[in-house]
A = this chain, B = another copy of it.
Amino acid sequence: MNEAPDDEGSAASQRISRRALFGFAGAAALGTAAAGFVVGDAVGSDASSSAADLVYPFRGEHQAGITTPAQDRLHFVAFDLRTNSRNEVIALLQRWTAAAERMCTGREVGAYGAVNGPYDAPPDDTGEALDLPAAGLTITFGFGRSFFTSKEGVDRFGVGDRMPASLVELPHFPGDTLEPGRSDGDICVQACSNDPQVAVHAVRNLARLAFGVAEVRWSQLGFGRTSSTSTAQQTPRNLFGFKDGTANLKVEQAELVDEHVWVQSGDDQEWLTGGSILVARRIRMLIETWDRTSLREQENIVGRTKGVGAPLSGGDEFTEPDFTLTGNDDQPLIPELSHVKLAHPSSHDGARMLRRGYNFVDGSDNLGRLDAGLFFLAYQRDPRTHFIPVQTALARDDGLNEYLRHVGSGIYAVPPGAGPGEHIGEGLFA
């Protein structure tokens, strides 16, 4: 009874019928989705595409989880490799690709899954997502600088000469108090889903498949998205209580996404074409201090109203800020050192990132403060023209710095999507 693989249509597959039902119903509802990249099509408020029913194909021109309409929950993990074998790494990426593809359609990992395998072997799947649909699960992989750079004089995986020029070491920004145990890593995985148990299940099973080859360096859960990546989504709020990501790049802005997010042929290493560079920052927010500042100070620091999120120059949330407008005191209505001004594309040669950060609370610290903040994730074509100049300006002058601590940091080269039969990152090893 425990011997049959979950071949659809077999009697054994009835044991996971609810999960299978959800998964396949979701895929069917998407119609053409199975053949291609559905981001932007799969979002909506009609009953046939609820948050739980969403299925995004793992394979495509780009990896899913970047322009995909930001799901509600995150589990992000950084792995360090425990092998110097290029072949073991490739085998790991093959296992991960197969598992990710299955999980993203709501199926279990492996041919047998959690309960249908040989009774005297560990199950193929850990089982905690058995009854759950994929809920829009995406799994996005990236390679850290340490994947490419020599370790103790050894080019471990023979890819030292394939490191993208844009995968630079981030400079030390004023105020950075980075913890190595929350930074970097050879490989990162971003799992996003509308169900946190599905995202956790994905990361946990990838870690399981890596046993002996890679181990978790650090991981981070996010409970609430802080950005919209589609015009169909409402703008969420960060833990400062402000709408976040109003001016974020959206999947519907295809030309801007090509210009600012996707690495283009000729930009850098050819294997990275169609990929992106991810910068991750764990930004602790000192919310107890923030909560004792006046509404006036909060709005002046941010440069937007707290309620509707309009720029202080007037209008509504989506009105462009007018940095030239002045008030009765001849001062700009939007302060020069406000966050919105310092981060605005007009201050950085038009540079725009695609952000998909998450709020986090990880218990409390030894001073009785909540260990809360923003786990910032930004995808871009080149951090040298995007994240680095923006963060340089913010780190120097942003009034928010009084309420922020950057405590973790990572930069990763995110390869393009895997084509049919390919494993993730195949081009890097070609």
Q: Which residues of A contact B (CB under 8 A)?
A: 2, 15-16, 73, 75, 77, 80, 114-123, 125-131, 181, 196-197, 200, 203-204, 207-208, 211, 215-221, 223-224, 234, 236-242, 287-288, 291-296, 298, 305-308, 359, 361-364, 366, 368-370, 372
Whether the Cβ atoms of A207 and B294 lie closer than 8 Å is no
- Closest Cβ neighbor of A77 among chain B residues: B364
- Provide the residues of chain B in CB contact with A219, threshold 8 Å: 361, 363-364, 370
Per a CB cutoff under 8 Å, which of B75, B115, B237, B305 touches A295? Answer: B115
A368-B237 contact, Cβ under 8 Å, with A208-B288, A291-B208? no
B127 to A306, Cβ gap below 8 A? yes
Task: Provide the bound-state CA to CA distance between A391 and B329, in Å.
Answer: 69
Q: Is the CB of A114 within 8 A of B307?
A: yes
24 contacts between A and B (CB under 8 A): A15-B307, A16-B307, A75-B361, A115-B305, A115-B307, A118-B295, A120-B296, A121-B294, A122-B292, A123-B241, A123-B306, A127-B237, A128-B359, A130-B237, A131-B234, A200-B359, A207-B288, A211-B288, A216-B369, A218-B363, A221-B221, A221-B223, A221-B361, A223-B223
Scoring A234, A287, A363 by chain B CB atoms within 10 A of each residue's CB, the highest score goes to A363
- CB contact between A216 and one of B241, B291, B368 (< 8 Å): that residue: B368
- A306 neighbours in B (Cβ, 8 Å): 114-115, 123, 127
A307 to B121, CA, bound (A): 15
A368: nearest residue on chain B (CB-CB)?
B215
> Are B197 and A224 in contact (CB-based, < 8 A)?
yes
Q: How far is the CA of A118 from the CA of B294 in the complex (A)?
A: 9
A204 touches B287 (CB 8 A): yes
Residues of B within 8 A of A75 (CB): 361
Bound Cα distance A238, B129 (Å): 9
Beta-carbon contact of B128 and A241 below 8 Å? yes
Are A370 and B237 neighbours in the complex by a CB distance under 8 Å?
A: no
Choose among B117, B197, B223 the residue that contacts A200 (Cβ–Cβ < 8 A). Answer: B223
Cβ of A128 to closest chain B Cβ, rounded Å: 5
